[in-house]
Amino acid sequence: MSEIKLRYGCNPHQAPARVFIDGHDLPIEVLSGAPGYINLCDALNAWQLVRELKATLGLPAAASFKHVSPAGAAVGLPMGDDLKRACFVEDMELTPLAAAYARARGADRMSSFGDWAALSDVCDEATAKILKREVSDGVIAPGYTPEALAILRAKRDGKYHVIQIDPAYEAPELERREIFGITFEQRRNTLVPGFGLLERVVTARKDLPPEAQRDLILALITLKYTQSNSVCFAFDGQVIGVGAGQQSRVHCTRLAAAKADKWFLRQHPEVLGLRFKAGVNRADRNNAIDQYLEDWLSPAEAQLWAGHFDQVPPPMDPARKRAWMATRSGVSLGSDAFFPFRDNIDRAQASGVSYVAQPGGSVRDDVVIQACDDYGMVMCFTGTRLFHH
C-alpha cells in the first residue's frame, strides 16, 4: 500500500486522515509543503480538467480551484494589454502556460484568493513567478523546471504545497466513495467533451465559428469538474464566469452571468484608470475594484473602500455599466443539464452570450430554442449530462 498521511480531513477535528492506493504506488509526489484533504480534492479534480483541455484543444491549460470547483480555467492564448492589466500581470513575462494561469486566476479573482492551481504542462519559471506573488495554497503539475521548483519551494517559507503527478496515470474504471458508512460504486466519468458534441445545432442560426467551438468545449470540460448544478460562461479561450452548486438552474446562470459581467467591466477604461494609493496590495486593489462595480455599499464598506484611493471615485454608474455590457457579444455558455425555462437564455443574452451548448431533453425545449432564435443565438444539444458531485 502507498499512502500519504494528512494533518486532518475536511475539518481539524476529523483526524486521522490519509490518501492511499492498494497494490501500487500513488501517482503523486509531494515536493514541498504538507497538503491537506481538501487540497488534494482540489488538486486531483483540477489536474483532470487541465489534462483534458490540453488533450482536446492542443494548448497549454491551467485551472484555479476552490472548494472542489473551478473559479477559472483557460488555455494559453496571448493576452491583450487591457486584459493583462485587469489580471495584474502587465509587468510579467508570459509564456503560453503563464498566460493560461493568469487568465484562469483572472476569471474570478475574488474566488481565486487562496486557490489551488493546476497546470497541464511542466511548470516554467514565468508561471512560478506569478504563483509566487499570489495568495495561493498550492499547485499540481506533471513536472517543474529547476528554476520554477526553487521559486515555489521558497514560497511561504517552504510551506507552499507543490505536487508532481505522473501524467501517464489512469484511474481504474470503477470508482468508490463512502457516505455515512455506505459504499457507493460507479463507472468513472471517462467521457471527454469533444467537438462531436456540438454537431446537433437546433436553432435557426447554424454557424459556429472555430473560436466559439473552442470556448464551448472549454466550458463543457470545465462543467465536468464543477459541483452541480452548474453553468459556465467562456470567452477568448478562458472561463469568465462559473455558477456552481446551485439548486436552481437559473440561479446558476445568474451567478455565472454576474461574474462574467464583472470580468468584462474590469477591462472598462474607468476601472483600468483607478488610481490607488502607494502600497495597496493586489488583494486589496482587487477587492476595491469589486466594490467599485457594486451598485450599493454599506457605510462601513464605503469607508474601507475609499481608503485605498488617492482620489475617491463614486461607485460606477449602473447606466455606464449597462452601456458597456450592451457592446459585448460572442460569449459561449455551457450547462451541465438542460434548461427548463427560457429565463436562463434571457439572462444570458444580457451578458453577451451568442453560443449555447446544453444537453436538451426538457419538455420545454421548444420554448428555449425559440428564446435563442429571438436573440439570434446558436444552440447545440449535446445529449450529454455532466453532473459532478
Give me the residue spans of the domains in the chain. Answer: 2-165, 193-265+325-381, 272-315
Average pLDDT, the chain: 95
Q: What is the C-alpha separation between 365 and 342, in angstroms, rounded?
A: 9
Task: Note if 161 is an active site residue.
Answer: no
C-alpha cell at 93: 513575462
pLDDT tens, residue by residue, 38-89? 999 999 999 999 999 999 999 999 999 999 999 999 999 999 999 999 999 9
Query: Rounded mean pLDDT of 297-304?
Result: 74
| Whole-prediction pTM | 0.96
C-alpha cell at 375: 436573440
Please check whether the two domains, 2-165 and 272-315, share a CATH topology: no
Task: Note if 224 is an active site residue.
Answer: no
68 contacts 244 by C-beta, under 8 angstroms: no
The residue whose grid cell reads 494528512 is 6
- Kindly tell me if the per-residue pLDDT of 197 is higher than 90: yes
Task: Note if 39 is an active site residue.
Answer: no
What's the CATH architecture for 2-165? Answer: 3-Layer(aba) Sandwich (3.40)
- Kindly tell me if the per-residue pLDDT of 302 is higher than 80: no
Task: Tell me the fold of 193-265+325-381.
Answer: Cytidine Deaminase; domain 2 (3.40.140)
Single-letter code of the amino acid located at 169: Y
Catalytic residue selected from 229, 259, 268, 287: 229
Single-letter code of the amino acid located at 372: C
What's the CATH architecture for 272-315? Answer: Orthogonal Bundle (1.10)
Catalytic residue selected from 54, 66, 155, 259: 66
Which range is most confident: 1-5, 298-302, 303-307, 346-350? 346-350
- Partner residues linked to 141 by β-bridges: 164
Q: Which 3 state secondary structure label does DSSP give 383?
A: coil
Instruction: Give the per-residue pLDDT at 1.
Output: 62
Q: What pLDDT band is residue 292 in, cutting at 50, 70 and 90?
A: confident
Query: Rounded mean pLDDT of 206-224?
Result: 98
Q: What percent of the chain has pLDDT over 70?
A: 99
